[in-house]
């Protein structure tokens, strides 16, 4: 039998196709008779639509359809929680990504030309481009229920009384920027009207069945008539979970009766895609004279933009994670998700955890400083223990993760500070740490179904099917590795099916770090009945006792004698069996037994060590070290795991040091990667260090946790801490610009360079 | 229609001319609008979709190809500029099922995740290793400064390159 370390270093199944350029992404598809679609977006952040005229555009040779709100047969709206975003606006536009019309033409250029001939008369309205204006009664409301999309809160203990007993209180406001997902493949694909009246949607998404549901509502078609092929994707990071171009492609395909391809340009993508929520977070935190946390108040304001998408859920997540892995007796958290005319904010890797973790860890550093305590020691004395309740007071799966990551990263830190000298006399180095915890799954009270299907197909292949999508995260690799381990068959015996609503069972969304966890859980439920069926059949066929049979390469093997081939091959077993052998499972993501809305049950933890070198002449903060200790249970695929942590880390480095989708009066000032800067190789430490802590509590029954998000959550506060270590300046706003550093240094009167 | 304005305001001339170039070792002649972007010529007219279009402004490197051996952004190259040149795309690196050493190294060392930047990244690494036998850290950073990857954080890409360099070193010692 192979050692686990071998199976967990497997080359990913989609690897060869990717390194050779042979993998066909959905935006690479070209079909016979295909048209090209383009979408007309609003030039204004807020305006009434007086009139829309499409006649001139329709007359352009090569144009096959020009559609407006009148052509939407069903609900003219989309949104995972509430369908409040118009597919095609009728009388009002609320942001510059709002769609007014769409065109199908013989070529992209003709479609783009046609957009310029669509005449729309607007009456501009006051633009609500800040959260202050949104809450100001002098400004209009953007939706019937007002400009507050969602309020969320949590309260335990008496904060007022607790603060009165505090020896030290720190209060600080933190400002977090709007971040672009920056998936390399922009939104797109091909939508095909089939001869039988059905529709096939070849467009990447993180939840094919959810797209099917939303499209059915828009198109007024039965869900069963819509097939969504949703995988593979060239990155998503939460950004393609909501609908993007699907409704337009679908409407145009149905109207013209021809396949329609839409592939957004990067400029179109940045203008229309959801972003990470900009947040303003004020935290007030107090400790007793010995340094124990007594009270913690948090006020969160999130700029959710013009439409809801997953804004409410992101805010709930922020509220939950406002206390992180710390034990605090008195807590009060209040959050507002505020509607503005800015770009729509929604799901993004970390899901509101990144923002509050930056603020919370900033508080911990400031309190330790005020107490003249070592920041690690201060965290250690306030840290949750294995059986403590979760951040909303809910029971959670037992976990030592918090102390494991803290102690691991503290050791890394001790080894680093010896190397403090900087590379030149005009620069200074600093090191900092931060820790965090992050919930997986959607949380208590949300529909969070999972499931899978394991079959022996008539061609002799063992087929494993999940309703997940491959966005790059490596779910295919996780599925392959775990099936091979659990069943004992060979990779040649296996066929993996994902990302196609016609072929897969419902597994829930490919979000919330839930994929790995749900694949493992599914296999625990599927493997025994499946093996049992195969072994029963083999025993009946061969007369060998069931207890002497096992699954192996190419078929069922005897455990007793030394055969050089299986007693029966999967192929022969399949032929002898008239019907396919199928086992299903369907269950829900594990949740806390306590009825606390949105509370999570399975958490992962990270401890981050960041090292920076700051150029005192230019103000540039250069990241020179990034180590992450991760407690998330066993590693399933080594390269996949490290890639998620390092890649999540890089995304957070961008968030901390350079990325901000600036807006002015509701218009993006950054429109492409020449003005929106994401980290390149030279912005990252040449080598990073990922330290997986794989141990789980002895009685843990929940297996490997997903690591899609945890690597991106704790990085920003660690860098901020490193900046303070280098130059003694506290950071309360991201990204940390060179201008800020230079100005802060000047105000401080410079720093002593040794 | 011989010309019109595209969405970026530039004039698209749809008059076609015959353009001849070498593509992955084969002679190609196509009637193309001379200003059509090479990335689109490759993807649409030549049906080679390994080369990707992502930013369209020469920043991200997803569209990187070699023109006469020189690393080039095919989104900033017009069809007529390929006239008489030799263009190499990702599809030409593997010889049937035998991967190019850079591809093999990426495969084994986590040099990719979603794979969308990967063709351009591999082309760039290949160009680097062709011009530098044993590149330094700074030379590697410089060589890949035109390629963005949003998935890996570049860790797996650096390990892939180091793996090739180590193998080559070991190979030399054996000789």
Do residues A580 and A632 both lie within one domain? no
Nearest CB partner across the interface for A682, out of B43, B103, B141: B141
Residue A574 in any domain: the answer is: yes
Q: What is the CATH number of the domain that holds A248?
A: 3.90.1170.50
Residue B168 pLDDT: 84
How far apart (Å, rounded) are the C-alpha atoms in residues A692 and A708? 14
Strands A99-105 and A35-41: antiparallel
With an 8 Å Cβ cutoff, are A23 and B114 in contact?
no
| pLDDT tens readout for residues A383-401 | 999 999 999 999 999 999 9
Share of chain A above pLDDT 70, in %: 99
pLDDT confidence of B13, banded at 50, 70, 90?
Answer: low
Instruction: Give the pLDDT score at B9.
Output: 46
Of B113, B142, B153, the CB nearest to A472: B113
Nearest CB partner across the interface for A21, out of B14, B90, B140: B90
Q: Residue A750: what pLDDT?
A: 73
Q: For residue B92, give the chain A residue with the closest CA.
A: A20
Banded model confidence at residue A5, pLDDT cuts 50, 70, 90: low
- pLDDT score of A313: 98
Question: Do A426 and A457 sit in the same domain of this protein?
Answer: no
Range A606-621 average pLDDT = 97
Q: Which of B4, B117, B147 sits opposite A109 (nearest CB)?
A: B4
Select from A129, A135, A118, A69 the least CA-distant residue to A94.
A129
Neighbours of A11 (CB within 10 A): 16
Residue in chain A lying closest to B4 (CA): A113
Task: Check pLDDT > 80 for residue B173.
Answer: no
Question: What mean pLDDT is predicted for residues A426-444?
Answer: 96
Domain co-membership, A460 together with A396: no
Work out the average pLDDT over A436-441: 97
Whether B118 contacts chain A with CB within 8 A = yes
CB A371 within 8 A of CB A401: no
Backbone angles phi, psi at A78, to 5 degrees: -140, 170
Does B151 contact chain A (CB < 8 Å)?
yes
Whether residues A507 and A554 fall in one domain: yes
Q: Is the pLDDT of residue A622 over 70?
A: yes
Looking at the structure, tell me whether residues A88 and A197 fall in a common domain: yes
pLDDT at B6: 54
Q: What is the ipTM of this complex?
A: 0.97
User: Does a structural domain hold residue A144?
Assistant: no
Q: Is the pLDDT of residue A356 over 90?
A: yes
Task: Give the confidence band of A563 by pLDDT, cuts at 50, 70, 90.
Answer: confident
Q: Tokens 């991201």 belong to which residue?
A: A734
Number of compact structural domains in chain A: 3
Indicate yes or no: CB of A234 within 8 angstroms of CB of B115: yes
Average pLDDT over residues A273-300: 98
**Pair A617, A667 in one domain:** yes
Which pLDDT score is estimated for A421? 75
Q: Residue B114 in contact with residue B151, Cβ under 8 Å?
A: yes
Phi then psi dihedrals of residue A745, to 5 deg: -65, -40
Q: Does B154 touch chain A (CB under 8 A)?
A: yes
Sorting pLDDT into bands at 50, 70 and 90, what band is A463?
very high
End residue of a domain, out of A588, A605, A637: A588
- pLDDT-derived band at A3 (thresholds 50, 70, 90) equals very low
The answer on A679 and A562 residing in a single domain is no
Pair A430, A714: CB distance under 8 Å: no
What span, in angstroms and rounded, lies between the C-alpha atoms of A475 and A473?
Answer: 6
Find the domain containing A459 and state its range.
Answer: 449-588
Interface probe with B: pick from A11, A16, A18, most Cβ of B within 10 Å: A18
Contact in structure between A318 and A279 (CB atoms under 8 Å): yes
Would you state the pLDDT for residue A168? 98
Residues 6+ apart with CB under 8 A from A532: none
CATH code of the domain covering residue A683: 3.30.365.10
Do A414 and A321 reside in the same domain of the chain?
yes
Contact between chains at A643 and B59 (C-beta distance less than 8 A) = no
Mean pLDDT of chain A: 96
**Three-state SS at A691:** strand
B114, A239 Cβ separation under 8 angstroms: no
Of A558, A588, A618, which residue constitutes the final position of a domain? Answer: A588
pLDDT at A273 (0 to 100): 98
- Residue A244 and residue A373 share a domain: no
pLDDT greater than 70 at residue A233: yes
pLDDT surpassing 50 at residue B1: no
Determine, for residues B149 and A184 on separate chains, whether the beta-carbon distance falls below 8 Å: yes
Whether A16 maps to a domain, the answer reads no
**B89, B116, B145: residue with CB nearest A681:** B145
CB pairs under 8 A between A and B: 188
A681/chain B closest Cα distance in angstroms: 6
Give the end of a domain, one of A555, A588, A621.
Answer: A588
Closest chain B residue to the Cα of A672, Cα to Cα: B55
pLDDT at B2 (0 to 100): 47
**What b/e string do you get for A369-391 counting C-beta neighbours within 10 Å, with b at 16 or more?**
eebebebbebbeebbbeeebbbb
Are the C-beta atoms of residues A629 and A694 closer than 8 Å to each other?
no
* Neighboring chain A residues of B106 at a CB cutoff of 8 Å: 19
Higher-pLDDT residue of A418, A650: A650
Domain identity same for A421 and A323: yes
**Full strand arrangement of the beta sheet holding A549-552:** A549-552, A555-558, A568-569
Residues A215 and A250 in one domain: yes
Work out the average pLDDT over B59-88. Answer: 98
Tell me the C-alpha distance between A606 and A625, whole Å.
16
Residues of B in contact with A185 (CB under 8 A): 52, 54, 114, 116
Distance CA A229, CA A25 (A): 11
C-alpha triplet A152, A158, A160: angle, nearest 5°? 95
Is residue A15 included in any domain, yes or no?
A: no
CA distances from A150 to A133, A259, B9, B15 (A): 17, 39, 41, 55
What is the structure's pLDDT at A2? Answer: 42
Q: Quote the distance between the C-alpha of residue A634 and its chain's center.
A: 21
Domain assignment of residue A702, yes or no: yes
Q: Which tokens in the block code for residue B114?
A: 């979603």
The values of phi and psi at residue A619, to 5°, are: 80, 5
Closest residue to B118, CB basis, from A18, A38, A181: A18
Residues A580 and A607 in one domain: no
B44 touches chain A (CB under 8 A): yes
pLDDT at A743 over 70: yes
* Interface contact A684-B153, CB threshold 8 A: yes
Q: What per-residue confidence (pLDDT) applies to A639?
A: 97
Residue A490: inside a domain: yes
Beta carbons within 8 Å of A125's beta carbon, 6+ residues apart: A46, A47, A48, A140
Instruction: Evaluate if residue B5 carries a pLDDT over 60.
Output: no
User: Is there a contact between B141 and A681 if contact means CB atoms under 8 Å apart?
Assistant: yes
């Amino acid at each position: 039998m192979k050692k686990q370390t071998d199976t967990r270093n497997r080359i990913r199944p989609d690897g060869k196709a990717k390194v050779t350029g042979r993998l066909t992404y959905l935006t690479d598809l070209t079909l016979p008779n295909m048209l090209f679609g383009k979408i007309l977006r609003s030039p204004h952040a807020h305006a009434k639509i007086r009139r829309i005229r499409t006649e001139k555009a329709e007359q352009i040779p090569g144009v096959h359809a020009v559609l407006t709100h009148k052509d939407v047969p069903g609900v003219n709206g989309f949104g995972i929680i509430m369908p409040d975003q118009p597919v095609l606006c009728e009388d009002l536009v609320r942001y510059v990504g709002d769609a007014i019309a769409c065109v199908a033409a013989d070529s992209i250029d003709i479609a783009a030309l046609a957009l310029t001939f669509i005449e729309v008369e607007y009456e501009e309205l006051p633009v609500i481009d800040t959260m202050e204006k949104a809450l100001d009664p002098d400004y209009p409301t953007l939706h019937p229920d007002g400009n507050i999309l969602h309020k969320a809160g949590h309260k335990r203990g008496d904060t007022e009384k607790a603060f009165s007993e505090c020896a030290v209180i720190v209060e600080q406001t933190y400002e977090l920027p709007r971040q672009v997902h920056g998936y390399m493949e922009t939104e797109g694909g091909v939508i095909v009207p089939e001869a039988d009246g059905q529709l096939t949607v070849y467009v990447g998404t993180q939840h094919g069945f959810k797209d099917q549901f939303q499209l059915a509502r828009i198109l007024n078609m039965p869900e069963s008539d819509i097939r969504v092929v949703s995988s593979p994707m060239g990155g998503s990071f939460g950004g393609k979970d909501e609908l993007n171009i699907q409704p337009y492609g679908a409407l145009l395909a149905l109207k013209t009766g021809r396949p329609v391809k839409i592939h957004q340009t990067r400029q179109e993508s940045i203008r229309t895609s959801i972003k990470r929520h900009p947040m303003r977070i004020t935290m007030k935190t107090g400790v007793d004279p010995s340094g124990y946390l007594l009270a913690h108040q948090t006020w969160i304001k999130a700029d959710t933009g013009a439409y809801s998408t997953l804004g409410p859920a992101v805010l709930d997540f922020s509220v939950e994670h406002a206390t992180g892995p710390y034990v605090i007796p008195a807590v009060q958290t209040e959050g507002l998700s505020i509607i503005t005319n800015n770009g729509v904010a929604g799901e993004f890797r970390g899901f509101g955890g990144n923002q509050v973790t930056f603020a919370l860890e900033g508080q911990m550093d400031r309190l330790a400083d005020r107490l003249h305590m070592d920041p690690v020691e201060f965290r250690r004395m306030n840290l949750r223990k294995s059986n403590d309740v979760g951040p909303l007071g809910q029971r959670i799966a037992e976990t030592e993760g918090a102390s494991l990551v803290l102690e691991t990263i503290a050791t890394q830190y001790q080894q680093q500070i010896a190397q403090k000298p900087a590379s030149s006399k005009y620069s200074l180095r600093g090191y900092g740490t931060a820790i965090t915890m992050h919930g997986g799954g959607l949380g208590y009270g949300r529909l969070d179904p999972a499931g899978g299907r394991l079959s022996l197909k008539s061609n002799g292949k063992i087929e494993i099917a999940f309703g997940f999508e491959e966005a790059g995260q490596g779910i295919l690799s996780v599925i392959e590795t775990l099936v091979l381990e659990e069943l004992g068959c060979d990779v040649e015996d296996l066929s993996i099916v994902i990302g196609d609503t016609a072929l897969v069972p419902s597994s829930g969304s490919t979000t919330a770090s839930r994929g790995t966890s749900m694949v493992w859980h599914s296999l625990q439920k599927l493997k025994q009945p499946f093996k049992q069926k195969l072994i029963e059949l083999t025993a009946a066929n061969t007369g060998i006792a069931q207890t002497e049979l096992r699954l192996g390469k190419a078929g069922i093997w005897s455990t007793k004698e030394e055969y050089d081939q299986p007693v029966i091959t999967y192929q022969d077993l399949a032929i002898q069996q008239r019907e396919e052998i199928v086992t299903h499972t369907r269950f829900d993501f594990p949740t806390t037994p306590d009825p606390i809305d949105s509370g999570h049950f399975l958490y992962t933890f990270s401890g981050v060590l960041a090292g920076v070198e700051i150029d005192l002449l230019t103000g540039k903060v250069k990241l020179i070290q990034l180590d992450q200790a991760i407690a998330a249970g066993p590693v399933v695929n080594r390269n996949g795991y490290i890639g998620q942590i390092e890649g999540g880390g890089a995304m957070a480095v961008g968030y901390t040091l350079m990325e901000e989708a600036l807006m002015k009066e509701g218009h993006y000032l950054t429109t492409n990667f020449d003005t929106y800067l994401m980290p390149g190789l030279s912005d990252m430490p040449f080598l990073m260090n990922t330290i997986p802590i794989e141990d789980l509590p002895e009685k843990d029954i929940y297996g490997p946790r997903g690591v899609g998000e945890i690597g991106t959550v704790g990085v920003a506060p660690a860098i901020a801490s490193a900046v303070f270590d280098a130059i003694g300046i506290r950071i309360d706003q991201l990204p940390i610009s060179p201008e800020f550093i230079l100005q802060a240094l000047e105000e401080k009167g410079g720093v002593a360079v040794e | 229609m011989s010309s019109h304005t595209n969405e970026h305001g530039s004039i698209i001339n749809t008059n076609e001319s015959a353009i001849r170039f070498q593509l992955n070792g084969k002679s190609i002649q196509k009637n193309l609008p001379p200003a059509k972007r090479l990335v689109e010529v490759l993807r649409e007219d030549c049906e080679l979709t390994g080369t990707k279009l992502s930013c369209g402004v020469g920043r991200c490197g997803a569209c990187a190809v070699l023109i006469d051996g020189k690393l080039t952004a095919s989104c900033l190259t017009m069809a007529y500029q390929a006239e008489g040149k030799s263009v190499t795309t990702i599809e030409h690196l593997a010889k049937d099922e035998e991967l190019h050493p850079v591809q093999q190294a990426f495969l084994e060392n986590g040099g990719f995740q979603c794979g969308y930047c990967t063709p351009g990244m591999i082309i760039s690494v290949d160009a680097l290793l062709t011009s530098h036998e044993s590149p330094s850290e700074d030379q590697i950073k410089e060589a890949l400064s035109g390629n963005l990857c949003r998935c890996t954080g570049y860790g797996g890409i650096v390990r892939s390159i180091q793996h090739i360099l180590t193998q080559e070193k070991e190979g030399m010692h054996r000789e």
